[in-house]
A and B are shown apart, each in its own frame.
Chain A
Amino acid sequence: MTRYVMVADLRRCVGCQTCTAACRHINGTPPGVQWRRVLDMEIGVYPDVHRAFVPVGCQHCSDPPCLDVCPSTATRKRDDGIVTIDYDICIGCSYCAVACPYDARYKVSRAEFAYGGEGMANEQAVFDPRRINVATKCTFCVDRIDAGTAKGLTPGVDPEATPACVNSCIAQALHFGDIDDPDSNVSKLVRDNEHFRMHEELGTNPGFYYLWDAAGEEEK
């Protein structure tokens, strides 16, 4: 089996938001819609204060609450673990948006572009009217993955088959790959480092791993 997941190395992320910009560029999301966000979290109390930059978005859960609630079956999970939305049958009820504990879903009611008007060339190139009034979210750049794997490329290794946010990351904090393959980049990262997943207690089995220290460092 294959399960594609994202790994975010919180030790490396510098909060530059390049992944956010890359996602917006390639997917043409409207203002206010960020399928890939980076949170700037403050931890502790003065004078012992720390910052952490935390990339978030759809976690492509193995047990996605959005899939359970969707009345139209527009939300589906592929065999490779990627959670998708069929814009042609979604009724825009937003039930998935209130079911997602990761605040990953968006719905816009009109076409909008970054600088108004008809939009820039890159926005026009990827503009999809089917996305109006329906739920949208991060797709793990599923089109790139499908096109890449069709050419025999490996997602997470070959940039042509890898999500745009991962390709753009200046700090190599974001990684993508098949967690079911023990030799994949993401499997090694998860094996060699201390990690956690967000809101695991809700039983979603998210496909987004956060690295926070080298393995074995916790006991220091």
Chain B
Amino acid sequence: MRGITPYRQNYWDWRAAGNFMYGGTGSGLIVSSLLALAYGEPTLLHVLIGLVFMGTGLGLVWLEIGRPFRALNVFLHPQRSWMTREGFVATVAFGVGAAAMWFGHALLIAGTAALALLFLYCQAHILQASKGIPAWREPTLAPLIIATGLTEGVAASLALVSAAFTMTMVALVVLLTLRAWSWRRYRLASETGMPTAAARVLAAFSMPFLLLGHVLPLALLIADMALGNRYPALTYFAAVLAFGSGWTFKFMVVRYAAQTQGFAIIHRPARGPRGSGGEGVKPGWGS
């Protein structure tokens, strides 16, 4: 039975989390194809794998909805719903992406990358529009989700590039730094703007995320660059850490930091003939 204090939502489970994990990586990978494009390298695998990832994420959402055979109704509210916008952008991205793979034209690849970035933007705002979950509606989460998707995509793309390898490493260093900064902003906001239970989850996650997801991969990347790329295994291991920590972060936010708003009264009611009102209460939100 639902109570008064914030509790962990169960409406969106691992399947919804999977949409943000696969969708973020997929769109980030497609965006990263621009680097390969700049170096004249093949980009079709970026686009193909990216679209497969985005499709897998959307497929997981389809498995979660209660009435899957009405799924096309998702397209009915582009005026206000970020979920509808995500669906539209994905549909167009699949079309333009297919054309890019067929014709191989640079403009089509760049167009797919722009759509993938838009898809990632929609995903970030899907969470932010969820006013019932304080950890999701926090404004600093949206840039963090975008930075995470791009980081995962660039990390994944290291397996696909050769000439653009060094530039992709630099991009990963920049994105890891950006993600660490975004995480810090989000963490600071969580200390006051979230239920105690959600803030506790984020606090416990913070240090391992910073060390294993940022400090260690940055050290490995910089070491490999300083050694003249003679030990690519260092970079690949850094990429695995950057990618894995991003997925872990999103799973944590969607599943474990997702405490509901809970209930509050700002005034205590006056009870009885001599009763008087007083201060209210907001259970689960600290002292």
Contact = CB atoms under 8 A, between A and B. Distances in A.
Interface in B183-210: none
Nearest to A107: B66
Residues of B contacting A: mostly: loop
B132 A98 contact: yes
A3 interface: no
A50 B271 contact: yes
Contacts of B70: 72, 89-91
A93 B267 contact: no
B74 A72 contact: yes
B129 A72 contact: no
B265 A41 contact: yes
Interface in A116-162: 132-134
Q: Give the size range of A's interface with the partner.
A: 35 or more
A185 interface: no
A70 B151 CA distance: 30
Interface string A41-84: 11110000010101010000000010111111110000000000
A90 B52 CA distance: 27
Contacts of A69: 80-83, 126, 129-130
A70 B87 CA distance: 13
Given A90-B67, A202-B131, A52 B1 contact: no
A107 B269 CA distance: 33
Contact of B11 (A72, A98, A194): A98
Interface string B119-142: 000000010011111001000000
Interface string B240-267: 0000000000000000001011111111
Given A56-B263, A93-B83, A68 B65 contact: no
Interface string B57-72: 0000100111110110
A107 B271 contact: no
A20 to B, nearest CB: 12
B42 interface: no
Interface string A19-36: 000000000000010000
Contacts of B65: 91-94
Contact of A100 (B82, B132, B280): B132
A142 B216 CA distance: 59
A81 to B, nearest CB: 18
Interface of A: 10-11, 32, 37, 39-44, 50, 52, 54, 56, 65, 67-74, 89-95, 97-103, 107, 109, 132-134, 194, 196, 198-199, 202, 204, 210-214, 217-218, 220
Give 5 nearest A-B pairs by CB, closest first: A92-B66, A133-B66, A10-B269, A94-B11, A72-B73
